[in-house]
Amino acid sequence: MYKLTVPEGYKSLLTPRQTQLAIKKVKDFFERDLAIQLNLTRVSAPLFVASDSGINDTLNGVERPVRFDVRDIDGDVEIVQSLAKWKRMALSQYDFEEGEGLYTDMSAIRRDEDTDNIHSVFVDQWDWEKHIAREDRTEETLRNTVKRIYRALRHTERYIADDYAFVEKNFLPKDITFVTTQELEDMYPELTPKERENRIAREKKAVFIEKIGGALKSGGIHDGRAPDYDDWELNGDIVVYYPVLDIAFELSSMGIRVDEKSLVRQLEIRGCSERLELPFHKALINGELPYSIGGGIGQSRICMYFLRKAHIGEVQASIWPDGMIRECEKYGIELL
C-alpha cells in the first residue's frame, strides 16, 4: 500500500522544465564538492552482479532483488540494491592508497519498497568508499567524515540559494549534532524509532544518528542494517529536518566497514554465518580487502530537499501506483 502526504497549500515553486535544470545544478555542485571534501575519484560501477557472488547488498535481509538470467552466462544475475560490498573490492582492484577513495553513480531497483513521498522503487545515489588504516576504525574518523559531508551539504545550500530565493541560505545549522540510537531511546522511551528521529530532527535540524543495527537496551533495534558491510558500532545516518513535510529526512547512510571480527559477530547475531563461504566474505576474512569507510548519499533526496519538493517523483522518473498518480495530479504535485 502506498502512502501520500499532501502539505496544506503546496505548490511547486518550479515548473517541470525549471526543475530539470535545477536538478543538474544541485547534482553537479554537490558531486564536485563531495569529491573534494573526501578526496574521491569517480569510477564506473555495475548495474547488476552475479547472484552467487555475495556482492549484492541484502539490506534488511527480506527485500527481494530483481533477478534474471543472461544468455551465455552460467547462473543468474541481480540488479544491485546498493554497492556497499562492490566498492570495497574496487578499492583493492584499483589500488587506492590509504586516504584515497572512490565514488560512483549507483542506480538500483528495490521492488519491495513501500512507496510514499520519499520512497521509490528506483534508488539513485552517490555511493562512495575510502581506504583507511586499521587504526583509523574509530568514532573520531567516522565523525570527522560526517562533518566533511555536512560541509558539502551546506556549501550546496548556499550555492542553490543564490539562484533560488525560496531556499534559505542558512537553514541548515552551522554544526551537525551527534546522537546514538541508545541515547535517543533513553531520551524518548515512549516513542517509536521513527518518532524519535522526527523529534530530534525538529529540535536540532541536522543530526547524525550513530550505531544502527545492533540491539538496544529495550531488546529492539532502531533500524535494520545488513550484517556484512557496516560495523554496527561505527555507522549511522545523516538526517535533516524537512519543513515541507515536517519530518526527519535521511540524506545519507554510512559507516566504517566490518573487519574480520565484527563480520563474524554480526553474521552470527543475524543467523546467517553461512555467508562466510561466499567469495566476498572469504576475501575479507583472508585479509584481501582494505579497511574502509563508505556510504550512500541519495541524489533524488538531496534534490528534493534543496528544491523544496513534496514528492520524490518530482525530481526523478520512476513508476507509481495509479491511485498515487491520480492524487498527485489532483493536488498539483507534478511527477516527472
Q: Which residues are catalytic?
A: 57, 110, 125, 237, 250, 253
Residue 209 sits at φ, ψ, to 5 deg, of -95, 115
**Who's near 133: CB < 8 A, 6+ residues apart?**
98, 291
**Distance (Å, whole) CA 119 – CA 110:** 10
- Which letter does DSSP use for residue 275 in this model? G
Do 118 and 245 form a contact (C-beta atoms < 8 A)? yes
| Secondary element (H or E) of residue 1 | none
Measure the CA–CA gap between 220 and 224, rounded to whole angstroms. Answer: 10
Q: What is the Cα–Cα distance from 210 to 219, expressed in whole angstroms? A: 17
- Whether 230 and 258 have beta carbons less than 8 Å apart is answered as yes
Comparing CA positions, the residue from 134, 172, 128 lying closest to residue 38 is 128
Contacts of residue 277, defined as CB under 8 A and 6 or more positions apart, other chains included, come to none
CA nearest neighbour of 56 among 70, 45, 72, 40? 45
**Side-chain half-sphere CA neighbours of 191 within 13 A:** 17
- Cα 270 to Cα 267: distance, rounded to the nearest angstrom: 5
Alpha helices, H only, the chain: 16-38, 84-93, 139-163, 181-187, 193-204, 260-269, 279-285, 299-306, 322-330
Residue 297's DSSP bridge partners are 126, 252
